Amino acid sequence: MTEDLIAYLNTDATLTGLIGAGTACRLYPNFAPKDATRPYMVYRIQSDPGRTKGNNVRERMYGFSIFADTALAAETIERRLKMLLDKDAEIAITSSAYYIKASRHSGGTSMYEQDTRLHHRAALYTLLYVEK
Amino acid sequence: MSEFESFMALQNKDAVIASLKQDFSDVQVGVQEIMAMNGVLIQKSLQDSLIPAPADTYSAPGSAPFAHEAHTVNSRSKTSGKILSYSIGGELKKSIRYKILPLMLGEPITLKIYSTSLAFYGHMLEFGTSKMAARPWFFPGIQQMLPSLKGAIEARIDEVVKRKNKLSKKRAVSSDKGAILRQLRPMIDNKEYFNLRLGTLTEMKNWTADRYAE
């Protein structure tokens, strides 16, 4: 499911225009490599309660962290991410195993790292998905 | 062709409205009680998720951080040269709090779970930093507790409705459980009244503001 979600994000030209496309895409799982080019984005499974709602719908929360030199750059990426993921409708992933029935922005926060002088924008999305 | 007509009138309209208002008030108080009770449980659950570990041992990225038991550290003062002792560890566990936000007209009933500035690094563990992978501890804990909170709220509503029905038999205004549930359920399901939406408080405030803007 995570791979499908990331593949979906990678197909968006606006987002890849901001964080790179293909093998140069700066969208990293869990943690970015040292000295990664900025801005970059890190994704992780924030919470996976493992329960099934009605109709075999499962719920999972993803966390995205955007690191950028300016607050505006971080904000721009976050806004695009929100456009792609904050939908109360099915998300068009190309997966042989899952449907993402809905995805909702579940909050986030802005931080500033004094030592690295990086702006950190964290965003949470709750996804409802079913197996095919 | 001559007309014929009929009419139906609710004679005791004011009494019915007053009765429903009382139901809403009872439900509101009940939900607040349940949220407060569950606040304690969520606080404990979050504290318990921070498993104790020896000092200077770190949890794996992606898993909840370890709680380091408070221990004493000695250091020599640069100015006086004296040995100073202070206690560190366990701040995150101690910093977890809950609070029912004051009830405002049109605002949802809200249970706030937060960590105080005692553990200033709580959000860094939850979201990670540019130098450290995240160790989510807050949202996984809360998400785990949501179904039981929702169940407890619904049970309390049922209880209020049942009590109302028992009382109403002795009153002039009859209260039909189905009718009350039909009034209440959409509010729960649409999350317009009972805000069980999970998110950060900032996001929730935005959501409330959006609602007023509509």
Instruction: Note whether B202 contacts A: Cβ–Cβ < 8 A.
Output: yes
Tell me the per-residue pLDDT of B166-201, one tens digit each, with 9 for 90 and over. Answer: 665 554 344 454 555 555 444 343 333 333 444 454
Which one has a higher pLDDT value, A34 or B189? A34
Residues present in chain B in total: 214
Residue B179: predicted pLDDT: 56
Closest by CA position to A59, among listed A106, A96, A27, A108: A106
Pairing of strands A118-131, A98-113: antiparallel
B127 and A65 within 8 Å at the Cβ level: the answer is yes
Which of A30, A47, A111 is the closest to B123 by Cβ? A111
Chain B CB contacts of A113 below 8 Å: 129-130
State the average pLDDT over residues B129-143: 88
When pLDDT is cut at 50, 70 and 90, the band that residue B210 belongs to is very low
A61 and B139 within 8 Å at the Cβ level: the answer is yes
Relative orientation angle of helices B177-189 and B138-168, to the nearest 10 degrees: 160
Helix H segments across B6-49? 13-49
pTM of the predicted model over 0.80: no
According to the 3-state scheme, what is the secondary structure of chain A? CHHHHHHHHHCCHHHHHHHCCHHHCCEEECCCCCCCCCCEEEEEEEECCCCECHHHCEEEEEEEEEEECCHHHHHHHHHHHHHHHCECCCECCCCCCEEEEEEEEEEEEEEEECCCCEEEEEEEEEEEEEEC
Tell me the per-residue pLDDT of B3-13, one tens digit each, with 9 for 90 and over. Answer: 677 776 767 77
Encoding tokens for residue B182? 């039909």
B134 and A44 within 8 Å at the Cβ level: the answer is yes
Q: Name the DSSP class of B194.
A: B
When pLDDT is cut at 50, 70 and 90, the band that residue A81 belongs to is very high
A124 and B131 within 8 Å at the Cβ level: the answer is no
ipTM for the whole complex: 0.90
Identify from A41, A61, A62, A121 which residue to disrupt to test chain B contact, counting B C-beta atoms within 10 A and taking the largest count: A61
